Homo-oligomer: A and B are copies of this chain.
Amino acid sequence: MSDVKEVLGSYSTDITKTIEEELAIITPDNLSEASVYLTRAGGKMLRPALTLIVSEAVGGNKESAVKTAAAIELIHTFSLIHDDIMDDDDMRRGMPSVHKVWGDDVAILAGDTLFSKAFEMIIKSNDTTPDQNNKALATVADACIKICEGQALDMGFEERFDVSEEEYMEMIFKKTGALIAGATKAGAIMGGASDEVIDAMYEYGRLIGLAFQIQDDYLDLASDEETLGKPIGSDIAKGKMTIIAIKGLAGDESGRLLEILKAEENSQDEIDEAIEILTNCGAIEYARNLAQESVEQAKEVLEILDGSSFKQALIDIADFVLERHS
């Protein structure tokens, strides 16, 4: 797992340099600072690294994909900034969120600026053909529309306790999976892959994106507070619909579980009781299996690629999604 972090880290210099260069020319200063702030906060850079690794795994080079990779990180950052306003989240990556530092208005604008910059960067990729740039941009634009739809779906789930598994899977695909799938697909496009390989890389990204989100739901109940950096069972306390809660609400003790999920406040005993219900009815195991199956499928999809250290990195990243504890 530490290997995967090293691999991701080895790409971050190129990505960060490209981002810094592109954002330095924005004026006025407060907009420039608010735009670049979160990109300096030490994110994992998973999405842009995937773009670069895929471009190399399909036989391309990372130079031709680096602007697109950086653009994808900007899109991710834009969505975090706007989501934090909507969800009124005060902290992000261990720092006050953009709207807490500069206010909602500048935060809205900073997000919009990153969004615009991202598209400009993809289209100005100059080691690739206009057709490749077009396809990469269409891929990212499609992901952006899905991110908005996914966030709207997620907001619509609040105060709802009858969300179906299908609705939930659509939501997490759009909110989380689509940009990861866009990142891997765009890497394949910029690396000059065939249409078949491009489609396969989208599928790989979609599958690890789903596993990533389901693992988040799982860790909320199965990790420990110190490792996770937040209390265990916080999704239950918030009454949040996760794949585990949805499965539990279809189980034998759904009445008591619903009471706990609906309560304004929960004692630690109630959280523990809910976790026991979810364990006993197999909901936690179900989620874990679902994530594992997605990762296995993702690795099968990779068989289309010739063997290389880059292909191995993609296999390791798929495993990492399940092995991570926070």
Point out residues on A near B: beta carbons under 8 Å.
Answer: 26-28, 30-31, 82, 85-86, 104-106, 108-109, 111-113, 115-117, 119-120, 123-124, 129-131, 133-134, 137-138, 141-142, 144-145, 147-149, 151-153, 155-156
Contacts and interface: CB of A to CB of B under 8 A. Distances in A.
B82 A112 contact: yes
A123 B138 contact: yes
A119 B141 CA distance: 6
Contacts of A141: 116-117, 119-120, 123
B149 A27 contact: yes
- A contact face: mostly helix, strand, loop, or mixed: helix
A31 B113 CA distance: 22
A134 B145 contact: no
B145 A106 contact: no
Copy number in the complex reads: 2
A153 to B, nearest CB: 6
A117 B138 contact: no
A121 to B, nearest CB: 9
B149 A26 contact: yes
A28 B119 contact: no
B109 A28 contact: no
Given A116-B145, A123-B141, 8 more contacts: A27-B152, A27-B153, A31-B148, A104-B104, A105-B155, A116-B148, A117-B145, A119-B119
A152 B106 contact: yes
A156 B28 contact: yes
A113 B155 contact: no
Contacts of A144: 112, 115-116, 119
A153 B106 CA distance: 11
Nearest to A79: B112
